[in-house]
Amino acid sequence: MDLGIYGGEASTPNIDTLARSGVMFTRYYTSPLCAPSRAMLLTGVDNHRTGVATIPEVLPREHVGQPGYTMSLEPGVMTVAARLQSQGYRTLMTGKWHLGSDEGELPSDHGFDRSFALDASGADNWGDKSYMPYYRDAPWYEDGQPAALPEDFYSSEFIVDQMIDYLSEAQASKPFFAFLGFQAVHIPVQAPAEITAHYRETYAGGWQELRQSRWQKAKALELIPAAAPLAPLPEGMRRWEDLSDEDKEVYAARMAVNAAMLEAMDLHVGRLVEHLKATGDYDNTVFLVTSDNGPEPTRGDNDWRLKLWMRLHGYHLGVDGIGEEGSWGFIGPEFAMAAASPGNLFKFHGAEGGIHVPMIMSGPNLPENIRQDALVQVTDIAPTFLEMAGVESEPADAVAMTGRSLMPLLTGETEAVYGPDDPVAIEVSGNSALIRGRYKITRNQRPWGDAEWRLYDLEKDPGEVNDLAAERPELMASMLAAYDAYSSEVGVLDVPEGYDSHAIITRKTQMRQLRTYWWVPALLLFFLIAACWGGVRFIKRARRPGP
């Protein structure tokens, strides 16, 4: 519900206008993590068949190098850009990639004529620097070569500026496919101070108040039934009233930056729209706006190692200058839970809050001002675009798309793409979901889940409050069998016993830091040995008999 058209607090007039001139989807599903979602979005293929079953940061050692888990697009997996490029389209990309940066893995190797891409899970939004100790730097590439950012960089502005530059190049007579991977609202949340000021009082009531407010608004907008229950905050989450006044101020300010980052992105989306209107391309352009996963729960203030890294790299967590250069902003699990309202949980998880996200499609020959409640998923986007472009056949050596074109739905030929007996499944790092008709089974891993399967009636209970597994054992067994069939078909690997993505990324970060800064402990060890040696010599001298 972050976007204004879905009831959020952020001002997103340009995106809202696209929604009102097109189709606003209310049952669109993605994956719980960014790179698998992007792989599916760009290829129309299930994430396990793309090679990007999860993200490298949380990949357990047991899965390294296994088919579907190579962490880059595998042979035969074609992007929509590559397919359209062969049909005479200009293919352009700016922003986040995170699908591999080794030889043959960048956008220029996967059908994009021009690209300015970040191959990392995120980066600073004000400068050319890493945002977390897992990365040594911010790996930006232009057309396959390492690239530097301009001095006046702000991520949303730059991503649009660079795309406008690419669109303004020669061959304007050709049709184009353009992909913009914004960093909003990935950590660190950062935004211009003048926009953040719009929201400084908006979130002063805290996360419980916001979660209740969005739940009520969702009912008023008829996004959920009037009787739909709301899941409580999970055990281990803090109550707003237990925070100090100082912590309340800084957390409310972080959420203000989150809203401001969305508004800033929307402002620059508006600049792109105006450019296309000025060039005469607007009326022949289809727009798609969506998110790759639910809200980000990561905290930056509860790990001394991360705080030490921030201090060494010029970051602060304070309220002064929040969201500006040098500020490391985040909303944390409690505000992420509120942002996911009326859903349950958030990014990383197969719960509604992790995979049920907004999606807007607008353009020529599409319905106007329509709310579409049919179930659709991220792999459906690529085949839809290809059908719009008149691309009818797949190359013989390509991995077959698993998604379905939404054109019959968009043209009114059908009321649904997936029937009541058609399963729609997703799995990323053991966080799993399968939806069939009105029912859903889901399994959420640590640290906020317990790896147990549960069954919900989404029609009555979209907030996943009442587990029906014990009440409906036959239905549960049938849904689990459907998931097992999906898992076997696409090549899902089970995560190790006790898997915890937070623990995995912490361990991998420590190892990477050790490889990068090995000389620091080596130097400390040298001085320690030297000090011990000197101490031993001193003691020996002190014990010698006098002359």
What is the pLDDT tens value at each position of the chain, 547 positions in all? 999 999 999 999 999 999 999 999 999 999 999 999 999 999 999 999 999 999 988 888 899 999 999 999 999 999 999 999 999 999 999 999 999 888 899 999 999 999 999 999 899 999 999 888 888 889 999 999 999 999 999 999 999 999 999 999 866 678 999 999 999 999 999 999 999 999 999 999 999 999 999 999 999 999 999 999 999 999 899 999 999 999 999 999 999 999 999 999 999 999 999 999 999 999 999 999 999 999 999 988 888 888 888 888 889 999 999 999 999 999 999 999 999 999 999 999 999 999 999 999 999 999 999 999 999 999 999 999 999 999 987 888 899 999 999 999 999 999 999 999 999 999 999 999 999 999 999 999 988 999 999 999 999 999 999 999 999 999 999 999 999 999 999 999 999 888 877 777 777 676 666 566 545 556 566 667 777 776 666 676 766 665 5
Active site residue 502: no
- Helix, strand and coil content of the chain, in percent to the nearest 5, comes to 40, 10, 50
Q: What is the DSSP string of 413-472?
A: S-S-SS-TT-EEEEEETTEEEEEETTEEEEE--BTT--S-EEEEETTT-TT--S--TTT-
Cα–Cα distance, 169 to 149 (Å, whole number):
20
Q: What are phi and psi of 440, to 5 degrees?
A: -145, 135
Q: Would you call 312 exposed, middle or buried from its count of C-beta atoms within 10 A (0-12, 13-18, 19+)?
A: exposed
Match 């049938």 to its residue by tokens. Answer: 478
Question: Cα–Cα distance between 417 and 403 in angstroms, integer?
Answer: 10
Tokens of 418: 């997936």
CA 129 to chain centre: 20
At residue 255, the pLDDT reads 97
Is residue 34 part of the annotated active site? The answer reads: yes
Give residue 303's pLDDT: 84
Q: Give the residue from 404, 427, 434 showing the smallest Cα distance to 44.
A: 404
pTM: 0.90
Is residue 194 classed exposed, middle or buried when 0-12, 13-18 and 19+ CB atoms within 10 A define those classes? exposed
- The answer, yes or no, to whether the previous bond of 188 is cis (omega within 30 of 0) is yes
Residue 488 and residue 502 in contact, taking contact as beta carbons nearer than 8 Å: no
What are the CA-CA distances from residue 226 to residues 221, 460, 468 (Å)? 10, 9, 20
- Which is catalytic among the residues 34, 186, 268, 356? 34
Find the catalytic residue in 48, 63, 98, 268.
98
The span from the CA of 256 to the CA of 260, in Å, is 6
- For 94, phi then psi, to 5°, come to -140, 145
CA distance between the termini of the chain: 86
Answer yes or no: are the C-beta atoms of 409 and 419 closer than 8 Å.
no
